[in-house]
Amino acid sequence: MGTSRRLLGYVESRKNLTGSACGLAGVGIALTGAAGGLWPLVVAGLYAAGALIAPPERPDTPLFPSADEQLDALRADFTTLRDYLAEVDLPPAVGDRLTGLATLVEALLEPGWVSDPDHLHVLARAVRQDVPEAVDAFVRTRWWSRFTPGAEAPESHLERQLAALHEEMTAIAAALRDAEAIRQETHTRYVEDR
């Protein structure tokens, strides 16, 4: 089956098609009598020349998900993250900070807002890696901290991590706000100039 697939692949290849077209031109030359008794060599030579000048085969460009498809997958992952966070027992201050971060992320994930690949990457990293890792590390450290009284409270690290993540999300929101403000100003100038 592998040999027949390769043979069929060559039959459909650019090299064979170009060589065949040149070979047909050789048959036309032979029919006019210009090639004489060497017509098989002319046809074969033109086929070979055509096969050599044909552009090489190139693999198809891979299709990656569009920004909308990536956002749909990210929204599904965010729903999974929210379900996970609902099960975790957090101190009230940390819970409030996490709720604020989740609300901001949820707003950014609304359709039609984030289209910049860098912003999408930051959101995906926060949802799929940073927040789950921060909360899981807190839960694990809190369990072990009862054996080492007087050590730094694990809540402080979680609060710092959530503050840094909130700052990242706020920067994305500010960039979106600035882009919309520029769009609005541009439209105002356009309408006034008309």
Tell me the pLDDT tens digit for each residue of 99-139: 999 999 999 999 888 888 899 999 999 999 999 999 999 98
Nearest to 101 by CA among 140, 137, 130: 130
CA separation, residue 171 to residues 1, 107, 122, 166, 182 (Å): 56, 13, 11, 9, 16
Q: Determine the pLDDT at residue 31.
A: 87
Using alpha carbons, select from 49, 59, 58 the residue that is nearest to residue 18.
49
Q: What is the pLDDT of residues 3-31, one digit of tens each?
A: 888 888 888 888 888 999 999 998 988 88
Average pLDDT over every residue of 141-168: 85
pLDDT for the residue numbered 122:
94
Mean pLDDT of 183-193: 91
Q: Which residues of 95-131 are buried (b: 16+ CB within 10 A; e: fewer)?
A: eebbeebbebbeebbeeebbeeeebbebbbebbbebb
pLDDT at 182 exceeding the cut of 70: yes
How does pLDDT run across 27-85, given as a tens digit for each residue?
988 888 887 888 889 889 999 998 898 888 887 788 877 777 888 899 999 999 999 99
Instruction: Report the distance separating Cα 142 and Cα 139, nearest Å.
Output: 5
Length of the chain: 194
pLDDT at 154: 80
Statement: residue 1 has pLDDT above 70: no
Retrieve residue 143's tokens.
């369990």
Please tell me the number of Cα atoms within 13 Å of 45 on its side-chain side.
Answer: 9
pLDDT at 145 over 90: no
Q: What is the CB-side half-sphere exposure of residue 94 using CA atoms within 13 A?
A: 21
What are the backbone dihedrals phi and psi of residue 62, each rounded to the nearest 5 degrees, phi first?
-65, 145
